[in-house]
Amino acid sequence: DKGAYDFFMLKEIDEQPGVIRGLEQTYIAQDGQIEVDDKLMSAMNQADRLYIVAAGTSYNAGLVGKNIFEKLAAVPTEVHIASEFGYNMPLLSEKPFFIFLTQSGETADSREVLAKVNQLGYESLTITNVPNSTLSREATYTMLLNAGPEIAVASTKAYTAQIAAETILAKGLGMLKVTPAAAEFDTAFELTKAANAIQTLVDQKDIVEDLAATHLSTTRNAFYIGRGIDYQTAIEASLKLKEVSYVQTEGFASGELKHGTISLIEENTPVIAIITDQKTAELTRSNEQEVISRGASVINIVSENLAEEDDQIVLPAVHQLLTPLAAIIPAQLLAYYTSKERGYDVDKPRNLAKSVTVE
């Protein structure tokens, strides 16, 4: 039931703080211990490399997860598009462990890979929102997102839930591997902080609605740019905008723009920069100057500690590993309001189905 909402997408965007708190309650004990199946944790601990396999938004959540697994658990992690991996499998490490990210648990491309992984005799985990879904039944282990039904075709709360789930697993694995980064990382504290940041951002929807109206209501194309983790967020941000508003959008590594793509910048081309990492903030800002001098109209989504006077969207402080949880929220809202402003059925974009059961 949509209740007072015009579309499920906005309802699901608003549900995200509660979904993250729910994951904390399910998987983190009072004393901070991670409560995930011991056998799953030991299977992951025996692996020399993690392979995350997924499609679409779930793949984009995997890109963010790679950074979290490598930083907290110090385990090399690869992320693969399911439809590529199935037929062009890379050379696997000696002891691979497979993680399938899938909201629906039914995506055919991912099922195809899992069937091959099972044939090869490797263990796997499916992280999904749907209990008893095919990918859940066919994997060795399941971790449920408990995000509640996601009705809008464009995935929002499953993305942030998947990142939170990856964080919980990475912390558990890092504790088994005794990494200093895991010892220092207070999962419940950091996830709560992220949930609170999301709440603040969804409470400031009006700012984003105005920006959608002024920058995106008539444009044909747009760019999201960022570096490092902000580039991973930019990829998901651009998928959200293009799929519901039909604005052709690319998520780009800021530094790569000048190597060709900058030729697409014209008068008033919207360029949205995500800036959460102090190491690269100045570099991204100088890439922005390059597009501004070619006429781009810029929106900045910037962490509190790095914000400057003209930045339109300021993100409350969260742990550096979890900035995608905050930075994606204004991007989800920009996609929603742009689609609504253009008069589209936000929940049912043309040509798309919620669950893609063909390869």
Q: Which residues bind ligand F6R (CB under 6 A)?
A: 55-58, 102-104, 107, 110, 154-155, 239, 243, 355-356
**Which H, E and C letters describe the chain, residue by residue?**
CCCCCCCHHHHHHHCHHHHHHHHHHHHECCCCCECCCHHHHHHHHHCCEEEEEECHHHHHHHHHHHHHHHHHCCCCEEEEEHHHHCCCCCCCCCCEEEEEEECCCCCHHHHHHHHHHHHHCCCEEEEECCCCCHHHHHCCEEEECCCCCCCCCCCCHHHHHHHHHHHHHHHHHHHHCCCHHHHHCCHHHHHHHHHHHHHHHHHCHHHHHHHHHHHHCCCCEEEEEECCHHHHHHHHHHHHHHHHHCCEEEEEEHHHHHHCHHHHCCCCCEEEEEECCHHHHHHHHHHHHHHHCCCCEEEEEEEHHHCCCCCCEEECCCCHHHHHHHHHHHHHHHHHHHHHHCCCCCCCCCCCCCCCCCC
Decide if 171 is catalytic: no
Rounded distance between C-alpha atoms, residue 170 and residue 185, angstroms: 10
Closest residue (Cβ) to ligand F6R? 56
Minimum distance between the CB of residue 146 and ligand F6R, rounded to whole angstroms? Answer: 15
Minimum distance between the CB of residue 96 and ligand F6R, rounded to whole angstroms? Answer: 20
Minimum distance between the CB of residue 57 and ligand F6R, rounded to whole angstroms? Answer: 3
Instruction: Name which of 155 and 160 has its Cβ closer to ligand F6R.
Output: 155
Minimum distance between the CB of residue 160 and ligand F6R, rounded to whole angstroms? Answer: 12
Residue of 116, 177, 205, 354 with catalytic role: 354
Minimum distance between the CB of residue 104 and ligand F6R, rounded to whole angstroms? Answer: 3
Instruction: Name which of 188 and 346 has its Cβ closer to ligand F6R.
Output: 346
Instruction: Name which of 72 and 328 has its Cβ closer to ligand F6R.
Output: 328
Instruction: Name which of 227 and 242 has its Cβ closer to ligand F6R.
Output: 242
Instruction: Name which of 111 and 227 has its Cβ closer to ligand F6R.
Output: 111
Instruction: Name which of 56 and 174 has its Cβ closer to ligand F6R.
Output: 56
Minimum distance between the CB of residue 251 and ligand F6R, rounded to whole angstroms? Answer: 13
Q: What are the catalytic residues?
A: 354
